[in-house]
Amino acid sequence: MRPFTYTPPQDDVKLIHLDAHFLVVDKPAGLLSVPGKHVHLQDCLETRIQTSYPKARIIHRLDTATSGVMVLARTPHAHRHIGLQFENRQVSKTYIADIWGCPNKKSGIINLPLICDWPNRPLQKVDFDVGKPAKTEWQTLERTETLEHIEHTTRVRLKPKTGRSHQLRVHMLELGHPILGDNLYAHDDAFNAATRMHLHANKINFRHPDGGAQLEFVADCPF
């Protein structure tokens, strides 16, 4: 496993939406969603947001290395209402990723059960016996030709239908095309092909906790 030092970015977190019930932000890559156990891991998205909105609470998470759209509740009702939408798989999420190589199809569905690789945590692995169901839809957006030492990379749109830890990262690995810059799962060439992990939560759709109107929020891809 490659060494990791937590050096969170110091830029302000971009606010996408704010109302009395919840707020939506664009989390930068390299920032924890919630505090870690140690003192040096206390700086995170939730604590930063709480400096301006003390009652804001995380509803869902993104991996530290992943950037993109996240929702925080401002009231217990909003936390419960939106949280149940996540639990019942009523929230639609779309990610953009750059992967190593070129898949031989333009789109597909990956349906591989996942579980923590306990001796090697936080790594996750496919396990058909005790793994939890995990499903990802993917679609090719564009291919990039040779760039220096990189033969080919492909930009894909990913739509997770479940919310397992590291789901998109492991599913792309199992497809044979790891995400560029992924310090946990990418081989050396794919890891060195980017200065950060090229995985971004681009879009989220859910219902407003007050009235049920369908909402969509977008965070532009930064790579």
List residues bridging with 126 in a β-sheet. 114
CA-CA distance, 66 to 40, in Å (whole number)? Answer: 19
Instruction: Show the low-confidence residues of the chain (pLDDT under 70).
Output: 145-151
63 is catalytic: yes
What local confidence, expressed as pLDDT, does residue 9 receive? 97
Phi, psi of 201 (to 5 degrees): -80, 105
CA-CA distance, 201 to 218, in Å (whole number)? Answer: 8
What local confidence, expressed as pLDDT, does residue 67 receive? 98
What local confidence, expressed as pLDDT, does residue 151 receive? 66
What local confidence, expressed as pLDDT, does residue 113 receive? 98
What local confidence, expressed as pLDDT, does residue 143 receive? 84
CA-CA distance, 42 to 63, in Å (whole number)? Answer: 15
pTM of the entire predicted model = 0.95
Closest alpha carbon to 220 in 68, 23, 30: 68
Contact (Cβ atoms closer than 8 angstroms) between residue 63 and residue 45? no
CA-CA distance, 147 to 221, in Å (whole number)? Answer: 20
Let me know how long the chain is: 223
What local confidence, expressed as pLDDT, does residue 148 receive? 54
Q: All domains of the chain, ordered by start, with CATH?
A: 14-218 (3.30.2350.10)
Choosing from 11, 19, 26, 63, the catalytic residue is 63
Strands 199-207 and 67-73: what pairing? parallel
